[in-house]
Structure 1
Amino acid sequence: MPQVLAATLGSAMQARGAPGCLAVAVLSESLRTYWTRTAWQDEAAMLAYVKAGKHGRIMGRVMLWCDESSVVHWTEDVDELPTWQIAHRRLSEQGRHFPPPRAAAGPAPLSAPFPAPCARRWRELRIK
């Protein structure tokens, strides 16, 4: 788990300094569950970040470290990060789920809802 935490925080710090990044937040719900939210000036800036630096390197290792991973991307015209509840709703409705390599190849639509972040255990780091 130290590798996952270090990768999560390193990737968030990379986002903080990336051109076009408007905001970053990391939530450690437990020692085994991490959530991140980022807001970008435009899609090109976000895609440049995703493929570069620490984030680009760790994406190949995520499924070695994690039981599963999910991602969602949407566009809206707002000046702040969405709440964790909104992010969870969007992830549940529109997200792509990456099960362990032994379960399936490639992303799949989320087939069942998963629990929202547990508010009483939140430890949020807002980076920007």
Structure 2
Amino acid sequence: MTFISVTRLRLRSRRYLPSFLLNVFLSTWQAINAEGFKGGKLLVDANQTYWTMTAWEEQAAMKIYRNAGAHRQVMPKIQDWCDEASAVHWRQEGDNLPDWIEVHQRLIKDGFLTKLSHPSPDHLTRNIPQPKSSKTGTIFHPRFNYARNRVSCCDVETLHVTSLHQNDNFS
């Protein structure tokens, strides 16, 4: 089984964008180096909205990632930076990441809202728009294969991000 974790964040002001993007980079770097990470996607959507999806060997691996490092440091800032923030988690068979339509449906059905300092009216009414972008998003893979005890084939000095058109299978 694969554990999927999804977040949808909408920045309430462009002034938070530089800090937000830096923290996206740092959190992504942390994820691709985390034990149990299988792969993920980032989607930049309309209206300063950002979607993240990560796949994990188990929920415990995701929690270790979530509660440490760059990700842990940025989580409290989301309350002030965002006017919409929601998340959803589930287990699934196989390693393929779902498309954004399925992610949106799961977020509507089973998702939870983050407590925010400045929530939008849509956040307060649980109105979560479907992604406007039809793109796959930026796909990222684990940098280190813990099962084989080796670094992936990427240059270890760069973030291992693949093109938008590659296969979403992380097996």
- The TM-score, its normalising length taken from structure 2, stands at 0.65
Q: Which residue in 1 is equivalent to 2:140?
A: 127
Choose between structure 1 and 2: higher strand proportion.
2
Q: Where in structure 2 are the equivalents of 1:1-128 lying within 5 Å?
A: 1-30=17-46, 32-101=48-117, 111-120=125-134, 122=135, 124-128=137-141
Q: Which has the larger radius of gyration?
A: 2
- State the AA in 1 paired with 2:139: R
- 1:46-85 CA-to-partner distances (Å, cap 9, x unmatched) read 1100101100111111111111210101111221111111
Gap runs ≥5 in structure 2: 1-16, 142-171
Q: Partner of 1:61: helix, strand, or coil?
A: helix
- State the AA in 2 paired with 1:59: M
Q: CA deviation at 1:92?
A: 0.8
Query: Using the alignment, how far apart are the partners of 2:136 and 2:94 within structure 1?
Result: 24
Aligned length: 122
Gap runs ≥5 in structure 1: 104-109
Query: Retained in 1: the 8 A contact 2:30–2:70?
Result: yes
The 1:81/1:123 distance shift into structure 2, 3 A limit, reads closer
The 1:29/1:123 distance shift into structure 2, 3 A limit, reads farther
The 1:43/1:123 distance shift into structure 2, 3 A limit, reads closer
- 1:16-57 CA-to-partner distances (Å, cap 9, x unmatched) read 110000011111113611000000001110110010110011
Choose between structure 1 and 2: higher helix proportion.
1
Query: Retained in 2: the 8 A contact 1:92–1:114?
Result: yes
- State the AA in 2 paired with 1:127: F
> CA RMSD for the aligned pairs?
2.1
Query: Retained in 1: the 8 A contact 2:26–2:70?
Result: yes
The 1:93/1:11 distance shift into structure 2, 3 A limit, reads same
